[in-house]
């Protein structure tokens, strides 16, 4: 099988390349953002026919560095989109942020099977993405561990689902009060209890925005309103999510916290194959705990539910504000609690634009909200 890995230099992309190698697949195309050294190493190891860097200047330097290989190096957003639309057996989109939306649509239009790890494609462009996928007959295979768990749990009974339960680790600050969160540092926020992820997603986990975005994703993927999608704090990160059915049976998917498992499941679906992920030893773990989230301290999940009900403009504004505020926090330009507050303000003042957006409408509103957030904070 031929694979395209979008966002190959990020955490998910690196693990995806490992899975492809172990499955004996061929890497057709890879894309990255700014990490030219890692991209060069990946080109030399996996021998893709195409590669793209989102940064044009870095792409130019990379083109020189790998001139002795047969790989064609593309640059900029157009180059990334071109890689996404190259026909292949499987495209994994692991790009972080709104930058992943256009490649998602490009892969769908090309008719490629899509494994989706880019949350923002559905948070900001859910209606558009699902409409295009339906028109092209493309099934979107979820790679987030929570949505993969639900996808696995509902096999055979998708119409009998009554409620979905997304599990959350609680991030770095579970159990903290608002007062305790006022002066937290970037270093503290990046200490995730279970997963090894990129900085942006780790901060989103600490604010619980990540889990709120997953509620929106689940609403689009599984066609359920957010009111039927609950969240439970599960610190061990062993139960990856659950589905409750009309007969009140609850099915869950369990596994060690290793993203290679949901990646491989998406790549091999509907088959299951031997994975490098270590087997789960429940006796050694000993206990699994579940608690409701503290919505007063972490209001992000309910904010995401509200934004979904308001419409696409609100979810675009929410995502744009969050990306901007998250970046500003990591740069030391705002406080931790300012992130969700900024998101709330962006949703509260979002304008009504149109009923059915095109990609241009989404990106235009996204840019306007980012500019407003950076000018305000």
> What's the start-to-end Cα distance of the chain, in Å?
47
| Residues near 29 by beta carbon (within 8 Å), at least 6 away in sequence | 4, 5, 48, 49, 50, 51, 52, 83, 86, 88
Residue 377: predicted pLDDT: 57
Q: Residue 198's pLDDT is what?
A: 78
In CATH, the architecture of 147-256+293-376 is Orthogonal Bundle (1.10)
Pairing of strands 250-254, 239-245: antiparallel
129: Cβ–Cβ under 8 A, 6 or more apart, which residues? 101, 104, 105, 108, 121, 122, 140, 220
Exposed / middle / buried, residue 200 (Cβ in 10 Å: 0-12, 13-18, 19+): middle
The pLDDT value recorded for residue 158 is 84
Q: Where in the chain is the domain with CATH 1.10.1740.10?
A: 147-256+293-376
Which pLDDT value is given to residue 196? 62
Counting Cβ atoms within 10 Å, is residue 281 exposed (0-12), middle (13-18) or buried (19+)?
A: exposed
Residues 245-257 pLDDT 10s: 999 999 999 999 9
Q: Give me the helices (H) in the chain, please.
A: 11-23, 36-46, 56-65, 76-84, 101-109, 119-136, 145-153, 178-181, 186-189, 199-207, 209-222, 260-268, 282-285, 300-310, 312-330, 336-348, 359-376
The low-confidence residues of the chain, meaning pLDDT below 50, are none
Q: Tell whether domain 2-138 is in CATH 3.40.640.10.
A: no
pLDDT value at residue 195? 61
Q: Return d(Cα 196, Cα 236) in angstroms, integer.
A: 14
């Amino acid at each position: 099988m031929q694979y395209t890995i979008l966002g190959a230099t990020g955490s998910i992309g690196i693990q995806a390349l490992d899975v492809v190698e172990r499955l004996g697949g061929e890497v057709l195309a890879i894309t990255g953002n700014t990490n030219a050294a890692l991209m060069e190493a990946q080109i030399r190891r996996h021998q893709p026919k195409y590669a793209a860097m989102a940064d044009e200047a870095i792409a130019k330097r990379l083109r020189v560095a790998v001139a002795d290989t047969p790989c064609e190096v593309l640059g900029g957003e157009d180059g990334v989109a071109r890689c996404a639309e190259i026909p292949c057996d499987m495209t994994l989109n692991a790009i972080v942020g709104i930058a992943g939306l256009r490649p998602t649509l490009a892969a769908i239009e090309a008719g490629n099977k899509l494994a989706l790890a880019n949350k923002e494609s559905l948070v900001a462009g859910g209606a558009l993405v699902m409409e295009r996928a339906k028109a092209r007959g493309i099934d979107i295979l979820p790679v987030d561990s929570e949505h993969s768990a639900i996808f696995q749990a509902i096999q055979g009974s998708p119409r009998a689902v009554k409620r979905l339960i997304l599990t959350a680790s609680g991030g770095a600050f579970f159990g903290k009060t608002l007062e305790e969160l006022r002066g937290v540092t970037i270093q503290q926020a990046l200490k995730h209890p279970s997963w090894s992820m990129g900085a942006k997603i780790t901060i989103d986990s600490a604010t619980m925005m990540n889990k709120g975005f997953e509620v929106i994703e689940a609403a689009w993927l599984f066609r359920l309103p957010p009111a039927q999608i609950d969240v439970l704090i599960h610190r061990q990160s062993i139960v990856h999510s659950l589905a409750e059915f009309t007969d009140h049976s609850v099915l869950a998917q369990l596994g060690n916290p290793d993203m290679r498992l949901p990646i491989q499941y998406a790549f091999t679906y509907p088959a299951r194959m031997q994975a490098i992920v270590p087997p789960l030893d429940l006796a050694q773990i000993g206990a699994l705990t579940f608690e409701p989230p503290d919505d007063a301290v972490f209001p992000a999940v309910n904010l995401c539910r509200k934004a979904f009900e308001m419409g696409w403009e609100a979810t675009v504004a929410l995502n744009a504000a969050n990306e901007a505020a998250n970046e500003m926090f990591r740069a030391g330009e705002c406080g931790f609690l300012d992130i969700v507050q900024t998101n709330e303000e962006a949703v509260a003042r979002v304008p009504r634009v149109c009923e059915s957006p095109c990609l241009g409408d989404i990106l235009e509103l996204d840019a306007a909200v980012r500019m407003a957030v950076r000018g305000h904070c």
